[in-house]
Structure 1
């Protein structure tokens, strides 16, 4: 039967791998090698022609193996499998999420260009946009989720930034507030400033939703970035990133990755392939647990507010975006504890099952304090505007039994 009849979760164990090429091994081996042997000089020449874009692949021609900075079976098969979830033409896996994000920005932005980005974004992304890119003459211009396409276009034009705008970068849901951004609006803004000679690229950080719960490419995005450390890896035992999208843009991303040399290694690729096999069952359990945890927090007297997508009020613009773009409320939530930093720290220090650590999407539940940890480098003005306060706590719900997670939260709240 043709592969197109199978669901992605069914293909995660086999897609792209030919056991006959690896002594019949049912799982792809770890190709721990730096270079690959050519059968002839002519074959080596042909492989390099394709790898360096000197010619297109012939029909049914497979990309030849040259050197693990350019390609490696573990990465190649992993990238093919990741494409199945998002419906992407191509994928490139990196050494970290920030490596993926920074490579995309460096490829599509040049000195004098402007990047339109959603607020808030992950703290590392915020730092790169506001502290690193300006050193190269590239400047970020932030927008919030309560601005319409028309308002954004007018504001960009009024500031004289239209000709300079080269990318719209959006993180939705936003870390750590779960604020949703309408990708249709982002695409309209990008199209308004695109021309025959200039594409304004729409890039979406989909880390919070993983490959399962949202597919930005189907809503107008050109590229999707992930910290693959999170749900894709899912076990807190690796660091990786990924970029997926249309071939037109991915060829440029892949080329820069080759010369920056920031691709993931074969061991990381193998671990990620292992993780993809359980991606759906892990994320499904995490989402089910999060429903129960969020409901508990919603009714607790020491909790002021819960930021959870499953609690969005019907009839609101946020709920409309949720229904249009997402398949699930996910397993990330934040809440405001009554009090401030003292109470938040007391809660975090009292946890017994949930781990006090940054990152998210892993099998174990994690808790952290965004204001002083992941988002500590964000400007004070932006933190206050976005609701990243000293009383905000972020939770990544894991696969433990939900009653144990709730028990831990309850006993920690009692001590806060």
Structure 2
């Protein structure tokens, strides 16, 4: 693969020109300290970063980039939870500094770095709000986004966090109805912020709509049905669902309520395509990028998907807004076969929270072992 600075000819540059902000779904201290993150900004049109417990667990489990800080934290006798808080917020703050120029150049739209509230709080609105405020204060950068899951309890937390003037990345959205509720929670938060005299222009939000996981769950059900009609619908649900989410975004931000807030300085909450790495190896590796090109969106990609897009992604302009009828047809056909959309999305939300809790457990275990090893090495001296 040619490793050259991106030009208008590169697929990632074309994607950016089509209105899609490219964010990297990964972060590690090694990326920060070696200049790797800066290189992706310069050469791959990357303008933001998302993180989650899985990403931090993987980063901490390899290499030596965290050793010095772990030794300091172990010597100070901090708890595992406090160590995780210090380590992850330091990475996010440093990445935010790297993206500050992008943040300024985009008038605060991009250059964003996301950090997630502990997933164990997904069903506790009060604790989520408190943690969101604590994370925002600790990172203390204007371009940080606090990730809050779109559970029922998360909706209240989204409203109150936005109302406090804190920018939010709403994560784990699977259903169109929940997405509608997320938009309402955002607008309600903006109304509260406006009433409190907070400058709406400084508040940004993205709504992370998950894509490939929808196909994984639906395709499993289609395979079980096994008919030619069912098998012909495989790998179509995720894109159809996301396209209809974009239609909903267009509709909800065209309402008088939303337009009044935008007129008062507020920003629209952009749709973000998450879970965009293909899970089925028979699919094109850029499928969830090239088929979801639309203005004012974000696509957060694993590095493998980013590199595939840069190498051979075919960007042909907007691939969303002309396909609403087809997308509705896909969901109707699935319903006709007995694939229960509400059950699919409820299952995915539940599994999504569970997976992040498992990853959080792995992160706790990794940091616990690192602290114990550091304490032991000091004691042995």
**TM-score bucket (shorter structure):** 0.3 to 0.5
Q: With structure 2 as the length reference, what TM-score do the two structures score?
A: 0.37
Q: With structure 1 as the length reference, what TM-score do the two structures score?
A: 0.35
Q: Mark the structure with the bigger radius of gyration.
A: 1
The answer to which structure has the higher helix fraction is 2
